[in-house]
Amino acid sequence: MNLQQYIKEYHEGRDDWFIEEVQNVSAQQRIMKVMNLKEYLDGKHKILQKSNEKFGGKEYEPRKIVLNHALTLLNFQTSFLLQNPITITGKERIVKEYQRVNKQGKYDRLNYKILDKMLKYGQVYEYVYFDKNVIKSKLIDASEAYPVYNDENEMIAFVQAYTVNGVDYYILYTDDTVETYDNKGGELRLTGRYANLSGLPVVYKTTNEVNENEGKSELEKWISILDSLEDLLSKATDAYYKFITGIPVITGQQLKGSLPVDIVGAGLNLDDGATFEFVSNKFDSQAFDTLYETLLNALYTVAHLPAIAVGRTDISNVSTEAVKMLYQLAMMKAGQNEQYIREGIEQRFEKIRRLLEYKGVTFSDEEFDSLGLVFQYALPSSDKEVIENMKALREMGALSLQTMLEQNPYVNDVQQEMMRLKEENNTISSVIDNN
C-alpha cells in the first residue's frame, strides 16, 4: 500500500489528512508517554504527589526525597558506548569521503545525542539533508514525531508536528517532497514545498515486545524501583524524626522542693525507689539497610550497571581480564545498544551516498559494502597490555597494519593515520636516498 492508497482508505482522500494522523488516539498515547518521561527526568517524581498527614493533632508535611539515579544510569550507558568516537573502516577512497562528511556534519556529537534520546524515550528520528552544499542531519524528537506505516509495517510518510505560541506547525515528509504547513490566522496553509533528496527520516529505536514500530524507554524498566527507593528513604526519615523522640516517664513519688540553685546543671528530686527514663521507639537500621541494598542492587542489575562503576566495590591490582569480568553486564548492554545505533547509521550511510551522487561523487557497490563501524567501549583497561598483544600478533604476521590502527586506543581516524605513516615513510626514504 502506497501513500495515496493509505490516504484514500483511512482519510477519505483529504488534503489535510496528516492532521487526523497526528490526532490519532494511539499516536497521542505514545506522545503522552514520552511527555511523562520528560517530566520524570525533569524531577517530577511520584513521591512529590504524596499527601500531607496528621501527627500530634496537627497537619504534617511528610518528607519527599527525590533521587536522580535515572540520569546517572542513562549517562553511564551512553558514555560507555560512545565516549570514544566511532571509527569508520573500509576502502580508502570511500572512508576518506565519509570521514570528511562526518567532520563537516559533526556526526560524532550527533551520535551521542541520538543514543541519549533513544535510551530516554525509546526512539528518535534523523533527517539527512543538504545545507549550503554540506551534508548535515537534524534530530526529530519523539514528542514531535508521527511516522506513518502501511499494512506491511513499511514507513510511507512521516509527520513532524509541534506548537509554538499557539500556532501549530506541520512538516510532511514523503519519498519525494518535504512540505511545511501552519495554521497561523486560524486556517491551515501551505508555507513551502521542497524536493526531498534523501528520502524519509532514519528511525533509531530500541526493542519493544508489544509494538515493533515503537521503541521502549530504558527508564520505564527502572521507574518502579526508583519510586520504591524514594518512598523507603522518605518514610524512614519521617519515622526517625517523628517516632524516635523520647517521652519522659517517671515511676514512683517525686519529692517536693528543688535542688540548690548554686549547683551546676539541673535534676529531679525522686523518692526512694522512683525511676525516671526516656521511652522511645527503636529504629531498625538493619532492616532499612537490607531493604535499601536489595532495591539498589536490583536497580543496578536491571540497568546493567557494574557496582565497581559507582564505587561500591573496592579493587586493586587487577588485570584487564578481571575488569572485563566485572563489566560483563555493561558490555552486554552496550552490545545491544550498539546494534540499535548501528542499524540507524547504516541507513544514514545510504542516504549520504545518495546525496553525494548529486555532487558527482559516486562509489561502486564493492566500495560501499566495505564500509564498517568499530565501537570502542569506555572499558577501564591497560593500554599497555593491548599494545603489547597487538605488537606480538604483528610480529607473528597474524595482524595487518590497518587492523592494528583500527583497534589502537589512541587512533580514531584510521585513514588519516595511514596517510601520515605513508608520508613519514616517504620522507625517510628520501633522506636515505639523498645520503
Domain boundaries, the chain: 384-435
Phi, psi of 386 (to 5 degrees): -60, -45
Cβ–Cβ < 8 Å for 37, 121: yes
The DSSP letter of residue 215 is: -
- Among 168, 172, 122, smallest CA distance to 148 is for 172
Written as one letter, the residue type at 12 is: E
Q: C-alpha angle with apex 124: 119 to 127, nearest 5 degrees?
A: 150
Cα 40 to Cα 219: distance, rounded to the nearest angstrom? 9
Cα 185 to Cα 299: distance, rounded to the nearest angstrom? 50
* pLDDT value for 186: 82
* pLDDT value for 423: 78
Cα 250 to Cα 272: distance, rounded to the nearest angstrom? 13
Cβ–Cβ < 8 Å for 150, 6: yes
* pLDDT value for 135: 93
- Among 40, 72, 62, smallest CA distance to 227 is for 40
In the chain, count H helices and then E strands: 14, 14
Cβ–Cβ < 8 Å for 148, 157: yes
Tens-level pLDDT at each residue, the chain (435 residues): 888 988 888 888 888 899 999 998 989 999 999 999 999 999 888 888 888 877 667 777 888 888 888 898 999 999 999 988 888 888 888 988 999 999 999 999 999 999 999 999 999 999 999 988 899 999 999 999 999 998 888 999 999 999 998 899 999 999 999 999 999 888 899 999 999 999 999 999 998 888 888 899 999 989 999 999 988 888 888 777 766 666 677 777 666 655 555 555 566 666 666 777 767 767 677 888 888 888 888 888 888 887 666 656 655 555 666 667 777 888 889 999 999 999 999 999 999 999 999 999 999 999 899 999 988 888 776 567 677 777 887 778 777 877 777 777 677 667 777 778 777 777 766 656 666
The DSSP letter of residue 85 is: P
Q: Is 321 helix (H, G, I), strand (E, B) or coil?
A: helix
